[in-house]
Amino acid sequence: MTEQDRQDNRDTSAPDESAQPQEKSGIRRKSLLKAALVAAPLPLLVGGAAPVLARDQARQGRVLTPTPEACDPGDPPTRQQTEGPYFRPNSPRRTSLVEPGTPGTRLTVTGYVFGLTCRPVPDALLDFWQADVNGAYDNTGYRFRGHQYSDAQGRFSLQTIVPGLYPGRTRHIHVKVQAPDNPVLTTQLYFPNEPRNNTDTIFHPSLLMTVRDVGSGREGSFDFVLNVRQDPDPPDPPGGTWAAGTSYRPGDTVTYGGATYRCLQGHTAAPGWEPPNVPALWQAV
């Protein structure tokens, strides 16, 4: 399926203004899985140690690692919000909405796209659109509009500016997020410590980014949790000293699945001949 097909196939029906009652827990716990993800390519970020590391990564040209925050298996999906009147389909594919000379405070937004069990969702479509520094949308062209796909680890990174305010709303960035062959999540991201957060009836605190100042710009992070079922973790391997391909003699003992077995007949172990399956070969002791 081409990129254009995917864009065309998206369910762009406007969601209900009244967002779903589901919302993410206000208690943000670092998930073990996410910590593992962060640790895999880069040093583990602990607590609030992110800014220095993030700057270092940026200097090295790496994708910024977002602050580890919320995704625990069983968390509800990211809250849905209205797309508003300014969405335009067919945005260009790009991770930077900033052009040379673009006025405004530079903002980098990074994060992960997760499914319901907090596993990363690779190749998720993220389509961002926002107002310019003056609070105006480009309704004839594609300034401050762009889509991208999460990487193999579910990460995304957007280069943009802090959007301006316009009447009736607090500061926000619109986004549609879609896992391959799944429905679209339409929502909005918000900035902490904005006075209008208290008066904007669409605003919801579960959609606040973590934002910090970095030099003359800002860095925001947010993790999406899509309503996408993911297979549960595979069961732990039974473990033990038994191994296929090994020659066993009568009287040898092995462990398998937490139990100990004694070999009754000499044989070379093979898959399917695990001790619990072949009482003629192994006796539990």
Rounded to a whole number of angstroms, the minimum distance from the CB of residue 175 to Fe ion is 11
Rounded to a whole number of angstroms, the minimum distance from the CB of residue 141 to Fe ion is 17
Of residues 60 and 201, the one with the C-beta less far from Fe ion: 201
Of residues 112 and 203, the one with the C-beta less far from Fe ion: 203
Of residues 202 and 278, the one with the C-beta less far from Fe ion: 202
Of residues 65 and 188, the one with the C-beta less far from Fe ion: 188
Number of residues that bind Fe ion (CB under 5 A): 1
Other beta carbons within 10 angstroms of residue 229's beta carbon come to 10
Rounded to a whole number of angstroms, the minimum distance from the CB of residue 60 to Fe ion is 34
Burial label for 6, CB within 10 Å (0-12, 13-18, 19+), is middle
Of residues 15 and 84, the one with the C-beta less far from Fe ion: 84
Other beta carbons within 10 angstroms of residue 275's beta carbon come to 24
Among all residues, whose Cβ is closest to Fe ion?
84
- Residue 63 DSSP symbol: P
Q: How far is CA 196 from CA 14, 159, 207, 222, in A?
A: 24, 24, 14, 20
Strands 282-284 and 259-263: antiparallel
The binding track of 50-89 with respect to Fe ion, each residue x by CB under 5 A or -, is ----------------------------------x-----
What is the spatial distance between Cα 151 and Cα 153, in angstroms, rounded to a whole number? 5
Rounded to a whole number of angstroms, the minimum distance from the CB of residue 86 to Fe ion is 6
Closest CA to 127 of 169, 56, 178, 61: 178
Binding interface with Fe ion (CB under 5 A): 84
